[in-house]
């Protein structure tokens, strides 16, 4: 448990409101994993199996509570195939740059929070955890093509939401 607890807690913290809820869901994840241990297939990585239990536990939590999630503390990094920030760089020269930066993070976080769970999972795994498509496919137990489509659609939804938000500010 100690080996995987920090990773599971970070994953869950990025998906739910509040540290207490994340701590509770992390504990529940390990309890569920312990009870499901006989069904673990040793042909697959234990961490992937445990990670999937954590994600499913969060999904169950959302269904029960009908809560929106909070997700990412910082904007997504740019790069080949990655989502880039759409905020001007010159803002960092301004005295109120810290406030503007926080607002930008809040806009991005709100946009990610509003994504359907299946898209949010894929985009968080890709951009927060820096996982390859193959690893995301394994963790979510979906074909690689599905992962690519989900990430593409999530990016498109985020671009649209962020563009729409900028029109009002």
State the helix-helix crossing angle for 19-36 and 5-13, rounded to 10 degrees. Answer: 130
CATH number reported for the structural domain that contains residue 15 in this entry = 1.10.1740.10
In a domain, 101, yes or no: yes
Of 11 and 103, the one with more pLDDT? 11
Verdict on whether the full-model pTM lies above 0.85: no
d(CA 63, CA 106): 24
- Provide the pLDDT for residue 151: 94
> For 58-100, how does the pLDDT look when each residue is reduced to its tens digit (9 = 90+)?
888 887 876 444 455 444 545 454 554 444 455 445 566 666 6
In a domain, 84, yes or no: no
CATH number reported for the structural domain that contains residue 139 in this entry = 1.10.10.10
d(CA 59, CA 37): 20
The confidence band for 161, taking pLDDT boundaries of 50, 70 and 90, is: confident
In a domain, 79, yes or no: no
Q: How many residues does the chain have?
A: 169
Q: Which two tokens stand for residue 61?
A: 């939590």
**To the nearest whole number, what is the mean pLDDT of the chain?**
79
């Amino acid at each position: 448990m100690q080996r995987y607890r920090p990773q599971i807690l970070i994953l869950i913290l990025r998906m739910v409101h509040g540290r207490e809820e994340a701590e509770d869901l992390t504990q529940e994840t390990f309890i569920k994993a312990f009870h499901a241990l006989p069904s673990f297939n040793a042909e697959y990585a234990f961490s992937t199996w445990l990670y999937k239990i954590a994600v499913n536990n969060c999904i169950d939590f959302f269904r029960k509570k009908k809560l929106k999630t909070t997700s990412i503390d910082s904007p997504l990094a740019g790069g080949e195939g990655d989502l880039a920030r759409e905020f001007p760089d010159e803002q960092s020269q301004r005295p109120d740059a810290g406030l503007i930066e926080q607002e930008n993070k809040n806009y991005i976080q709100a946009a990610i929070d509003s994504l359907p769970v299946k898209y949010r999972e894929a985009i968080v795994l890709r951009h927060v955890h820096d996982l390859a498509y193959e690893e995301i496919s394994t963790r979510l137990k979906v074909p690689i093509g599905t992962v690519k489509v989900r990430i593409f659609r999530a990016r498109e939804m985020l671009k649209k939401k962020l563009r729409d938000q900028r029109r009002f500010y």
